[in-house]
Amino acid sequence: MSGPDVTGRPDDVGPPQQRATPPLDGIVVADFSRVLAGPLATMILADLGADVIKVERPGVGDDTRSWGPPWRGDDSTYSLAMNRNKRSVTLDLSDPDDLVLARRLAERADVLVENFRPGNAARFGLDHDSLSARNPGLISASVSGFGTGEDAAALGGYDFLIQAVSGLMSITGDADGEPTKVGVALVDVVCGLYTAIGIQGALAERARSGQGQQVHVSLMGASLASLVNQASAFLGAGVVPGRMGNRHPSIAPYETFQAADRPFAIAVGSDRLFALLAGELGLSELADDPRFATNADRVANRDGLVTAMAPVLATQPAGHWVERLRARGVPAGLVNTVAEAFDEAAALGLDPIVEAPRRDGGSVPTVRSPIDLSRTPTVVDRAPPDLGEHDDEVRGWLEEPHR
What residues act catalytically? 188
Cβ atoms of 176 and 18 within 8 Å: the answer is no
Which residue, 321, 328, 267, is CA-closest to 298?
A: 267
CB-CB neighbours of 7 under 10 Å: 11
Sequence-separated (6 or more) residues with CB below 8 Å from residue 327:
none
Question: Which three-class secondary structure string do you get for 9-77?
Answer: CHHHCCCCCCCCCCCCCCCEEEECCCCCHHHHHHHHHHHCCCEEEEEECCCCCCHHHHCCCCEECCEEH
Which three-class secondary structure state does DSSP give residue 217?
strand
Which residue, 221, 209, 223, is CA-closest to 148?
A: 221
Helix residue ranges, H only, 210-257:
219-226, 228-237
Sequence-separated (6 or more) residues with CB below 8 Å from residue 314:
258, 259, 260
DSSP 8-state symbol, 182: -
DSSP 8-state symbol, 127: S
Give all strands of the β-sheet with 254-258 in edge-to-edge order. 254-258, 263-267, 332-334
CA atoms within 13 A on the CB side of 87: 23
Which residue, 264, 233, 271, is CA-closest to 249?
A: 233
Using CA atoms in the order 7, 10, 15, 21, what is the torsion angle rounded to 10 degrees? -90
**In this structure, what are the phi and psi dihedrals at residue 332, rounded to the nearest 5 degrees?**
-155, 150
